[in-house]
Structure 1
């Protein structure tokens, strides 16, 4: 039993933003019915692959049931409508206008079930001059200004190392769905939600937006350092890299002591935050000179001994194998018919009551179709066979 056990979600989405949103709900026990095309979600064909099967798709579509329908057929549309009549939530991330053409849009389904919470995720929202344009994570990172702030100042704009626009939008989507469900307990009616990836990424850039409003100029790339607070940066040690965060004068004095250079704390160039920012290149050179004499472990230990926030820069393999990741139980290993086992990393919140459902693998294409039509909609075996023979059900 999870916190959301008893909640039924019809997932019409594909690839990443919508499926990540519904995976977060499924982690907490929601029944997520994934409606996908007979050929399957496009993400089933995205690498990397193991034994010919997408690991990427597996991680994003954990804990779901699959019903494969040809939504261009009116009979398939009627099945979605019948399921929506029993559901609490519908999530879709078609390009604006597609859901309406398929008769699975908010107006159609909420007319059948006024208590339904209907979430539409798109690149640019349901209105605006960019509505209808194809949008992928990289496009949104570029257009939102995020890429302009990422990377080395001497290099080109750089995307983050993950599809952050998709993932953050999915996270906002799960938050919006739960907010609407909470409101439904008071009003008795559902909600239609318009969520754009572009809007989501704009809303996250707090430091950059603050700089823009304060100065009237768009902030520029500064590499790994913080654009305002100095020294907050990444440094090279003898055998790798580490990060430090020194946001106050008191912590800076501690850093100077750790370096064996206590006099720097009183140096007019560095004594206060504004001065350190004005002379950041000189200060960075001094700190870098010290760190390059130490190993990462030595440097982190020296900093932590003086209460300075510091940590090693790990690759993903090191992070997943770390004692901290193991202690937190970040990865759940579940049985898998192709992989043997698959490591799922579900939503990270830890509820004192438990709150999460037992993790299970992603579904095969249409794996639960017969059972869903029989158990929820009361379709007979003969009706199900006829739908399959006519190509409506895969």
Structure 2
């Protein structure tokens, strides 16, 4: 079956998470992704751990399937020649060097488009190519802090808290995918390549969504609310008899049904709770009533009752419990991939379910430089040249 991005070649000069996550998604969709790594160390995440499986970092494994790995010294003259050959037949370059780094090395967009006028280059940085912070390094944690995200995350009376995953990196990877797919569509129409300037800071600010809009519309600085929602109530974590669950009552009609499930249908008729804006004003009183009743049954009992009434809810699972959920297995969100040195490698599956061009898991996350000789041969270099390149640490 055809894949959506068949015949698209991506040169991946990125490391760590945002760039590799982006190129993995493109690889899942069928693109040929060539991951260029440092000759000695490779992608930094190869050393991030534990855990390690047969010497391979779990962090590295999470974002690098469906790629080929070549080691290349980009500072050497021959390394530049090899890169330019790769770029000459590529469609997209993804890189996350600090602003100006590749330009100084002779590999910036303006330089590479002389080799390949239709080239699309996505440059991922912490703060973008312009502005007073353009030369600063951008790490996910720093971006979560500076973007305002941490100021709204955590308990109201507690300290600011980061999200449990590198969410700015993940969101930037997704936005970069969107930019690349848009640029490919533009090139299909016009033949023109282009540069994509994308930053972690911009992506995280964009992703504040309603919280940012609340401030822009009201001038009121958002605060940490723990597990409560700033615009809806009841919409938070509650304690049942045997543990925690989330209940998300999204509108007035749902609240009527929720009140009935609690055994307190009259709540939905009371002036202080009848509309969402009233429930927000009287949140503390409403939550106290809900907590009193919810403590009388188990999580499973409440889930059955709430599901039957069409009230969104769910238990707070551990990661282990999540992966045992039959819904996760049915949706193939755990996949097994053959690997040359790891037995029974399991990775998180793709959420993209395309009926005509489904994603495929064609290649394991490559070993460091696993495809170097193969790709060099594809570029026309002979065995003696490849041997010489290795001896001189060009590859």
* Both proteins in one fold, TM over 0.5: yes
For the residues of structure 2 that align with 1:80 and 1:291, how far apart are their CA atoms? Answer: 62
Structure 2 partner of 1:364: 367
Structure 2 partner of 1:13: 14
**Cα deviation, residue 325, structure 1:** 0.4
Structure 2 partner of 1:85: 88
Which segments of 5 or more consecutive residues in structure 2 lack a partner in the other structure?
A: none
SS of 1:276's equivalent in the other structure is helix
Structure 2 partner of 1:380: 382
**Cα deviation, residue 182, structure 1:** 0.4
Alignment deviations for residues 267-294 of structure 1 (CA, whole Å, 9 cap, x no partner): 2221111110011011111111111111
Question: Retained in 2: the 8 A contact 1:331–1:345?
Answer: yes
| 166, 172, 177: which one aligns with 1:174 | 177
Moved over 3 A (4+): none
Q: Does 1:2 align with 2:14?
A: no
Question: Retained in 1: the 8 A contact 2:332–2:349?
Answer: no
**Cα deviation, residue 137, structure 1:** 0.6
Which segments of 5 or more consecutive residues in structure 1 lack a partner in the other structure?
A: none
**Cα deviation, residue 323, structure 1:** 0.5
Alpha-carbon RMSD across the aligned residues, in angstroms, is 1.1
Question: Retained in 2: the 8 A contact 1:27–1:346?
Answer: no
Q: Does 1:162 align with 2:165?
A: yes
Question: Retained in 1: the 8 A contact 2:65–2:361?
Answer: no
Question: Retained in 1: the 8 A contact 2:28–2:66?
Answer: yes
| 300, 309, 314: which one aligns with 2:312 | 309
For the residues of structure 2 that align with 1:260 and 1:155, how far apart are their CA atoms? Answer: 34
For the residues of structure 2 that align with 1:248 and 1:364, how far apart are their CA atoms? Answer: 51
For the residues of structure 1 that align with 2:52 and 2:157, how far apart are their CA atoms? Answer: 36
Structure 2 partner of 1:389: 391
Alignment deviations for residues 63-96 of structure 1 (CA, whole Å, 9 cap, x no partner): 1101101111121011111110000000000011
1:188-337 to 2 correspondence within 5 Å?
Answer: 188-337=191-340
**Cα deviation, residue 346, structure 1:** 3.7
SS of 1:233's equivalent in the other structure is strand
Alignment deviations for residues 197-251 of structure 1 (CA, whole Å, 9 cap, x no partner): 0000111111111210221122111111111111111111122211111122221
SS of 1:70's equivalent in the other structure is coil
- Aligned residue pairs, count: 392
**Cα deviation, residue 117, structure 1:** 0.6
Question: Retained in 2: the 8 A contact 1:243–1:311?
Answer: yes
TM-score, with normalisation over the residues of structure 1?
0.97
For the residues of structure 2 that align with 1:358 and 1:249, how far apart are their CA atoms? Answer: 44
**Cα deviation, residue 338, structure 1:** 2.8
**Cα deviation, residue 53, structure 1:** 2.1
SS of 2:98's equivalent in the other structure is coil
Between 1:177-186 and 1:46-55, the stretch displaced more is 46-55
Between 1:303-312 and 1:384-393, the stretch displaced more is 303-312
For the residues of structure 2 that align with 1:250 and 1:8, how far apart are their CA atoms? Answer: 50
Question: Retained in 1: the 8 A contact 2:352–2:359?
Answer: no
Structure 2 partner of 1:122: 125
Between 1:50-59 and 1:29-38, the stretch displaced more is 50-59
